[in-house]
A = this chain, B = another copy of it.
Amino acid sequence: MNKKSVKILAALLILLQSSRSQTLSGFGESATAQQFNTEKKFDGYLDTGEIDHFIKEMSAHPHHVGSPGDKAVTDYIYNQYKSWGFDVNIETFYVLFPTPKYRLLEMTAPTAFKASLMELPLKEDATSNQTKEQLPTFNCYSPDGDVTGELVFVNYGLPEDYEYLNRLGIDVRGKIVIAKYGRSWRGIKPKVAQEHGAIGCIIYSDPKDDGYYEGDVYPKGAYKNEYGVQRGSVMDMPIYPGDPLTPGIGATRDAKRLDRKDAANLLKIPVLPISYHDASPLLQSLEGPVAPEQWRGALPFTYHIGPGKTTVHLKLEFNWDIKPVNDVIAKMKGSEFPDEWVVRGNHYDAWVNGANDPISGQAAMLEEAKAVGELVKTGWKPKRTIVYCSWDGEEPALLGSTEWVEQHAAELQQKVVTYINSDDNGRGFLGVEGSHALEPFVNEIAKAVTDPETGISILERRRSHEMVSINNDPKKLKELMEKKNISIGAMGSGSDYSPFIQHLGIPSLNIAFGGEDGGGEYHSIYDSYDDYRRFKDPNFEYGLTLARTAGRATLRLADAEQLPFDFTSLSKVINRYTNELQALLDEMRENTSVQNRLIKEKDYQYASDPEKKLSAPAAKDEVPYLNFANLQNALDEFKKTTDQLSAALQKQKTASPKIDSINKRLYRAEQNLLVENGLPRRSWYKHSIYAPGFYTGYGVKTLPGIREAIEQRDWNEAQQQMEIVSASIIRLNNYLHAIINDIH
């Protein structure tokens, strides 16, 4: 056979394989055929031109919370849903949303310099000159403040950066710190600074992180130019998100509100973000020790830490207004199970124009909603109710979603099958985080959707990307090669899924494409349609791909005969997290032991350059062995149960009269993992498996109660949390066991 015939044969084999009758999880044979037919039609309604149009329209003006631009987008979205036949309503909450009244940052010594605090309009960017409509550069929920102090550079402002400062004998008490954006969520930087006694915090974008070091700067390229500033919230969201004055309840007009000073998630020290144009003179003026290698950015001078002669004056005042946030909620009623809701959401408010964040995701979601409307026009109806949520007020603190979730908590815990979130979207690779019982479901969808750049499935492309990314680690690479599926990530925070999964235990997914859409426009005036069209998704094909992916997730969950939850995946992943914790503890134990020995034997002292005055780190208490037995036993039981449940569900007939009751119990199962009192010191977060990190912000901590106690070296709390997590797993185990009994 010549090469050509081999190729043809291979192509035929692939065709054969894909046309082979296969049922979708949760669908019988005829339902599968029907579903494929529905999805084919659905795909047919999706159009890149329309996504382009949506993005252009909705990013035409700045539209932050409470602005006329925001209201215009609310109405635009409302009218779209309406025109597609949805039952739409706007639900309004009233939230604390401060905006800048006065901003001053100046260097007062050794030379005078006043920060411009200005992003420059560019002729290459049509909306960048809408100066009057733009929110000035600021960090939302910074308190008012008027502070003057010596300046200290604190790297990314992480707890370990302060440990290093401590070794240098540098104390930030009474001083103002300047930290780089990156590594931790921005709100963590002033929080940690405040814990260490700083009186003010400046956050700047170093060109190493998203400026010229990474690529050509805007408008020549996508990266941050010297004037670009990242706005953003610095509320302490790891305590609780949403309106700071109404924790745990909906911020309705007459809700009972805290006094602002009593809101536990509001900082006490003023914070301001600046550009590298404004940061350069401050940093260049610093004296004191040279910053260690990992602290250095890409500005063309030696980074020093300070303190010294450099003092700065930071004065900030805000309008502390209560503003409305308007969630647009559009329902398409289910024909068979109207009280089972598949909820799909994406926010629409932006810091400025937000073409990428969040309009790219909002546009894809609207395109999905439109296609659902078209399907309905052909006579199709979803079996379950589909709810599209266009959230307002995500940027300041997940306001719109959190207030809605808090307001309707009981109803949502009864009705919501799954919450499917998206946010910004661009060229590249599929990324999914979420409830691990949905991992096989996600894989099935990812196999069915084609990547527009390569023509292979988005699953295969994701796998290729992962494998090539670790191509210097043959061991990991071989493991990955053997594994045919993709893993979904665990959920931290950073978008509107947080209240659903972490507060209510509702199964959730977050879907985005990216990795080839790098740039420095995030939360700046340059996150514009012009930028998006050049650097993010020029042909809007990944917008379309997102609509295909999230649309399939929505449609399959709406129409599945048996809901496709697979708790064996959850069991595996919790086992993995547990193994990680054991490894972490062992590693900490070994590390602590050798470090303490180095400290005791004065090796740090002997190795150090006397001119550098870097003292040894402090010795730490030795790491004990913890009792993992209860957790391991619970997980062993849980594995058996989930295997049995999986087998039982496999055998369950779709015609079974019990199937709806089983389905309801399946989608409510994850709520068993909630812990009534929540996580230590932050009771709003109730999920025992997933939470944003107390000191990472957006970054997830899995088994957070145990993991963070270990990281903070609180061994008693770690052991207590181990028992709490074990109890939640036993609870879920028993719950699932009851389902098995019911199926049989």
Contact = CB atoms under 8 A, between A and B. Distances in A.
A516 interface: yes
A456 to B, nearest CB: 6
Interface in A574-620: 587, 590-591, 593-595, 597-598, 602-611
A305 to B, nearest CB: 13
A213 B302 contact: yes
B461 A606 contact: yes
B207 A453 contact: no
A290 B215 contact: yes
B212 A611 contact: no
Contacts of A299: 300
A217 B302 CA distance: 8
Contact of A302 (B216, B464, B469, B478): B216
Interface in A27-67: none
Instruction: Quickly give the copy total for this chain.
Output: 2
Contacts of A456: 606
Interface in A636-654: none
A481 interface: yes
Given A474-B591, A597-B481, A610-B453, A467 B603 contact: yes
A219 to B, nearest CB: 14
Interface residues of A, number: 53
A465 interface: yes
A611 B542 CA distance: 15
A467 B607 contact: yes
Given A456-B606, A477-B594, A212 B302 contact: yes
A471 interface: yes
Interface in A431-464: 453-454, 456, 460-461, 463-464
Contact of A221 (B223, B302, B468, B595): B302
A471 B599 CA distance: 11
B468 A604 contact: yes
Contacts of A221: 302
A606 B516 contact: no
B460 A516 contact: no
Contacts of A610: 453
A516 B213 contact: no
A301 interface: yes
18 contacts: A212-B302, A213-B296, A213-B302, A216-B290, A223-B302, A298-B300, A300-B300, A453-B610, A456-B606, A464-B606, A465-B607, A467-B603, A467-B607, A468-B607, A468-B608, A474-B587, A478-B594, A516-B609
The 4 closest A-B pairs by CB, nearest first: A464-B606, A468-B607, A464-B603, A300-B300
Given A212-B302, A461-B607, A477-B594, 4 more contacts: A207-B300, A215-B302, A468-B603, A516-B609
